[in-house]
Every structure is written in C-alpha cells, then in structure tokens.
Amino acid sequence: MIIALALLGTAIYTVYLFLSVFFSATKLGQGLILSVLIISSFGFLTTLILSRSVNNFLVHIFYIIFSLMVGLLFYLTIFAILFQLSKLVKLDIAPLILTRIGVSLAIILFGIGVFDAAFSRVKDISIKMNGLSSNWQGKKIVQISDLHLGGIYGISFLDKQIYKINALNPDLIVITGDLFDDTETNLQAFGPELAKLKAKEGVIFVPGNHDVSVGLEKIAPILATANILTLRDQAVSINGLEIIGLDLHQLIKDDNNLVISNLEPYTGQARLLLKHVPMDISLAKNLNVDLQLSGHSHNGQMFPLSGITWFFYGKYQYGLHTEGTYNIYTSSGLGSWGPPVRTFNQAEIVAITIN
C-alpha cells in the first residue's frame, strides 16, 4: 500500500508539473490542477472501497467517473514523464508545444481505450483436438472471460454481450473466471440475465481471483439458478469431450501436485482444460490436455501494460499458442478492472471451432 501510494503521489506531482505548463497556469490555476488530480485519484480509491459494501447509485456513478479520470491520468502520466525526460536531454522544442502534443496524444489514447472497452469483437479461431469424438467435430465453443460484472459493467452491458454470444449459436459456453467484480453488492440482479445464455451442451464456469474476493459462497446460488455448472478441481465428460475445471489456488505457482478425483483414466479422449490464470502448462501437458482456455491478464488492458503481463506469464499472456498436441488460448477478456479503458486491446468474445 505504501509503495502504491508513493507511485500515485509521484504520478500526481509529475502530471501537475506537466499540466501547469500546458495551461500556462497561475498560482491559482496550479492549485486547481493539483486539487483536481488529488480528488480524482483518491476519489477513485474511496469509491472503490465504498462500492464493495454500499449499494448506492451515487457511489457507482462517482466510481465510474473517477475510474475514467484515472484512466486519463495514466496516459497523462506517461507523457508527463516523457516531458521531463525531454528537459533532461534538452530537446530543442518549446515546452508549451511538447505539452500540447503530449496532452493531445493522451486524450487520443484514452478515447481509443474507452471505445475498445465499450464495443466488443468476436474473435474466430479453429483448433485441432486429438481424440475428438464425432459428436464434437466442427462444433463451436464460445469462451468469455473477465467480464467483471459490478460497479461499471452492469445489466445493460451484460445483455448486449449475451445477445452477441447467443447469436453465435454455440454448442458450449465456458466462462474462465472473474465473472464478477468486487464493486457490487447486489449480485443477485445478474442471475436472471445470466440464465439467458444458451448453448446446446450448457454453460460451465471456473472461478477467478475477483470471484474469490467477492465470495464463492455468494456466487454459487446465483450460478446454480442460472443453470451454470461450476467446476472446481473437477472434471465432467460431455458426449466424449472431457472438460477439466481448475480452481484458483495460486496466481504464480503451478499446481503440479493437484489431484482431480473424478478424472477418467486417459484412453486418448480429447481433453479441454479451463483455468483462470494462464499457467499450469506442465500440468496440462501431463494430463494430455488438447486445449486450455484461460484469461486473467487482460492482455495488459491498457497499452503499454502488456509488457508487465508478459513478465508474469510470458508468451501465454495473450492469444493462441500451439506446442505439439497442446493448445492454449488466453483471452483478453470482455470487461476491465478499474478504468473502463482497453487501449489497442478490444474486448473480445472468443468463438472456437474444434476439429
């Protein structure tokens, strides 16, 4: 927390210096700039905490507003740092011109991010699975991940996504974690909407870290009412396709010693693994998994943060990777955490044709 506050304070001060030049601010103007930056940052933290325990319309509205302001602050911080670096290298461009360029680019990147978060795309991919039964040849699995339903992504957002998902006519829908966000107390309101998800072979869910934070005991009855099957270190076989759902044990360490008690003896059947975090690669290969579906990383969410998720998860932090008979697809997700901003990283629904 101390480190986070120190970084936030540094960002606020750097942007304050940057915007003071941009606005050619007087003492009064500088004070106003600093006040807005402090209120935006700590307003976000305050409403984030309040939204976890208070079901209040105004709290949610201010949380959305402050979240957007923090998203803009992120890009202003990047260009504010570059502005300070330009002074160190004595770049021969007037400071006012540099700040105008920086603020303009920050606003453009922020605007792109808001658009990419608000309008999801359908990403079509095809994957070969060894031992796939004739029942599943050419069938479609739709993966959705990281919706973060809560203070920002509400019923209307979910309704639009379900319309897109059902229009794909999926044979199976899988939700690979972080369905809910811990910024909403009235989770029951999402139940009837989630029940509208339609797939011939059903809907399966595995938990993510935010679902654990919300409380799986709170989520379980909502999912059960919506006819969504939850798999926690369990396997289920559907028409010859064996589906393994792993719980969220650790975010960093692989679960190589994990035992799935109801896993059928391997006789060459196709296996699908659902795991929120794009890890456990060696475990998946040892289990003869043909396809692993994960999420969690958001592909960094806001450019250029994908470098950080790459540090933790390597190449598996986003996209499709094939290694022999093993495939893994990590989705960038449908929602976002904090700022509803996904610059150069559009929210996605993944439609997977298997053969």
Q: Is residue 14 located within the same domain as residue 126?
A: no
> What mean pLDDT, rounded, does the chain reach?
93
CATH label of the domain that carries residue 325: 3.60.21.10
User: SS3 for 16?
Assistant: helix
pLDDT at residue 166 in the model: 98
Q: Is residue 39 located within the same domain as residue 73?
A: yes
Beta strand pairing call for 234-238 and 241-245: antiparallel
Which band of pLDDT confidence, cut at 50, 70 and 90, is reported for residue 4? confident
Q: Is residue 73 located within the same domain as residue 161?
A: no
Residue ranges making up the domain that contains 322:
122-354
Q: Is residue 47 located within the same domain as residue 139?
A: no
Amino acid at 61: I
Strands of 228-230's sheet, edge to edge? Answer: 121-127, 348-354, 139-144, 172-176, 203-206, 228-230
Q: Which of 118, 133, 165 is the last residue of a domain?
A: 118
Q: Is residue 132 located within the same domain as residue 91?
A: no
Indicate the DSSP class of residue 97. Answer: H
Q: Which of 118, 151, 179 is the last residue of a domain?
A: 118
Q: Is residue 154 located within the same domain as residue 259?
A: yes
Q: Is residue 88 located within the same domain as residue 131?
A: no
Q: What is the mean pLDDT of residues 4-31?
A: 91
pLDDT at residue 297 in the model: 96
Residue 8 has pLDDT above 70, yes or no: yes
Q: What is the mean pLDDT of residues 81-98?
A: 91
Q: Is residue 70 located within the same domain as residue 202?
A: no
Which band of pLDDT confidence, cut at 50, 70 and 90, is reported for residue 53? confident
Q: Is residue 99 located within the same domain as residue 128?
A: no
CA distances from 88 to 30, 85, 152, 268 (A): 23, 5, 40, 62
Cα distance between residue 284 and residue 264, in whole Å = 15
Q: Is residue 186 located within the same domain as residue 309?
A: yes
DSSP, residue by residue, 126-162 = EE--TT--GGGTTEEEEEE----BTTTB-HHHHHHHH
Q: Is residue 152 located within the same domain as residue 205?
A: yes
- pLDDT tens for each residue of 194-232: 999 999 999 999 999 999 999 999 999 999 999 999 999
**Number of folded domains that form the chain:** 2
pLDDT at residue 260 in the model: 87
H runs (alpha helix) in the chain: 2-22, 27-51, 57-88, 95-118, 155-167, 191-194, 209-214, 216-225, 281-286, 306-313
pLDDT at residue 253 in the model: 62
Geometric angle at alpha carbon 51, from 149 and 312, rounded to 5°: 60
Q: Which of 73, 90, 118 is the last residue of a domain?
A: 118
Q: Which two tokens stand for residue 33?
A: 């700039």
Asked whether the bond before 304 is cis by omega within 30 degrees of 0, the reply is yes
Q: What is the mean pLDDT of residues 162-174?
A: 98
Q: Is residue 107 located within the same domain as residue 138?
A: no
pLDDT at residue 276 in the model: 96
Q: Which two tokens stand for residue 267?
A: 């006789």
Which band of pLDDT confidence, cut at 50, 70 and 90, is reported for residue 178? very high
- pLDDT tens for each residue of 284-296: 999 999 999 999 9
Amino acid at 209: N
